[in-house]
Amino acid sequence: MADSGAWPIETHILHRRDVDRSYQVWVALPMGYRPDASNPYPLVVCCDAPWTFGTAVDTTRILSMSRETPRCVVAGIAHDTADMREMLDLRAVDYTVTPAEAPPMTGIRAPAAETGQAEPFRQWLAGDVMPHLYDRYHVGEPTYVGHSFTALFGLHVLFNAPDMFARYLLASPSVWWDYEVMFRLEEEHAAAGGDPAVKVFMSMGENETDEYSPQAKFHDQFSARGYRNIDLTWHVFPDENHNTVVGPAVSRGLRVLYAD
């Protein structure tokens, strides 16, 4: 564990037995964190920690100063590797919802048969990571933050185990995966009568306009269902692309999700 004093960030290594793979879990505590506080701290969980954790930490810290969000404990899950190539492939393995070959432009080289492991990863997250966090920190209601593949994973959780999180921040979800299979999965979810009581903030950048950016079309399908218990907010960020949208999405999304 590393402790940075007034702004502590701690690192845990958790091993996942089903795939014999280790992950790092980074935990940032708010200023003045007290394990004996009268109320638990809201928990913000970020997959893709190398790309989303720092943004979420900085955003919650500054927004809590103006009381636009509560003081939060932020946890980030990262693959335990410094190899960017391996990291890109493992993202495609853990966060995609069906086995499929990734288009060459993504740079992903993971074999199609190894992808589509979102549900085993979700089970590990629910069965190992979340209990680990609740055992060691004074945390309460969780919020999920995802971007791109991890926002796609967030949709998988929303449709299969919605009670895992009270709030979902889904920035530019990769709903293009496997010939837009998530559109069909949303239809199946609706047909099964799924209508969880959660808040969802979904967004994309205005400059996401290629064939890998059908997020607006997915939102339109999702919104048209008229889910009574899903409080859905949609936002398109001007002048932002798939990468630059992360900061604005996390900032606006957390403010929307934590608004009374």
Q: What is the pLDDT of residues 182-240, one digit of tens each?
A: 999 999 999 998 788 999 999 999 999 888 899 999 999 999 999 999 999 999 999 99
Domain annotation for the chain: domains and CATH numbers:
26-73+122-257 (3.40.50.1820)
* The token pair that represents 43 in the structure block: 């928990």
The pTM (predicted TM-score) of the whole model is 0.95
- pLDDT value of position 227: 94
- pLDDT value of position 6: 61
Residue 3's pLDDT band (boundaries 50, 70, 90)? very low
Backbone angles phi, psi at 41, to 5 degrees: -85, 135
Residue 5's pLDDT band (boundaries 50, 70, 90)? low
Residue 260's pLDDT band (boundaries 50, 70, 90)? confident
Q: What is the mean pLDDT of the chain?
A: 95
Instruction: State how far the alpha carbon of 48 is from the alpha carbons of 79, 94, 149, in Å.
Output: 8, 10, 9
Query: Nearest to residue 227, comparing CAs of 171, 152, 165, 158?
Result: 158
* The token pair that represents 246 in the structure block: 């992360």
Which range, of 123-132, 177-186, 207-216, 248-257, averages the lowest pLDDT? 207-216
> Which H, E and C letters describe 111-154, residue by residue?
CHHHCCCHHHHHHHHHHHHHHHHHHHCCEEEEEEEEECHHHHHH
Which long-range CB contacts under 8 A does 192-198 form with residues at least 24 apart?
194/159, 194/162, 195/227, 195/228, 195/229, 195/230, 196/158, 196/162, 196/163, 196/229, 196/230, 197/229, 197/230, 198/158, 198/162, 198/165, 198/166, 198/167, 198/168, 198/229, 198/230, 198/231
